[in-house]
Amino acid sequence: MPPNRTEISKIILQTLHELGEDLEKPELQTADESTRLFGARSELDSMNLVNFIADVEERISDEFEIDLILANQSAMSRSHSPFRRVSSCIDYVMELIAAESDAT
């Protein structure tokens, strides 16, 4: 049974909250779905975003045994990055999971 949106949201927010603790950034520790991940108003620099993406990939793999590559061609070629906000990131992960389920 593939994970639902609530489960993915929980993983992504938990990852972000923990990253906020590591980086001592209160805005990330209280992040919600409207929090910006990418761009000038984000609390994450490019390397933190890379680490965040790697953590999310790993957690999804650990919890649901689904191996996703978030930074793939489809993400990079979109006019609006799926990593601009937490909500768009969750939607994007759900898309990838649906595509993965269709493929198997």
Partner 1 sequence: MNKIALITGTRKGIGRAIAEHLLAKGWIVAGCSRRSSDIENPNYHHFCLDVSDEKAAMRMVRQVKKEHGPIYALINNAGTASMNHLLLTPAETCRSIFNTNVLGGFIFMRECAKQMTRQKCGRIINISSVAHPLNLEGEAIYASSKAAIESLTRIAAKELGPHGITVNAIGPTPIDTDLIRTVPQEVIDALVQRQAIPRLGTTEDVTNCIDFFLQEESAFISGQTLYLGGIS
Give the span between the Cα atoms of 40 and 62, in whole angstroms.
32
Rounded-to-integer distance, Cα 89 and Cα 8, Å: 10
Contact region with partner 1 (CB under 8 A), list: 9-17, 37-45, 51-59, 75-83: 51-59
Residue placing its CB nearer to partner 1 in the complex, 40 or 47: 47
Contact status, residue 17 vs residue 29, Cβ threshold 8 Å: yes
- Residue closer to partner 1 (CB basis): 30 or 61: 61
According to CB under 8 A, which one of 17, 26, 39, 69 is a site residue for partner 1? 69
Identified binder of partner 1 from the candidate list 18, 33, 55, 91, rule CB under 8 A: 55
Comparison of 32 and 67: residue with beta carbon closer to partner 1: 67
Contact 34, 86 (CB under 8 A): yes
Q: 21: number of CA atoms within 13 Å, CB side? A: 5
Confirm or reject binding of residue 50 to partner 1 (CB under 8 A).
Answer: yes
45 binds partner 1 (CB under 8 A): no
Residues in Cβ contact with 50 at an 8 Å cutoff, skipping those fewer than 6 apart: 71
Question: By the criterion CB under 8 A, which residues form the site for partner 1?
Answer: 47, 50-51, 54-55, 57-58, 61-62, 67, 69
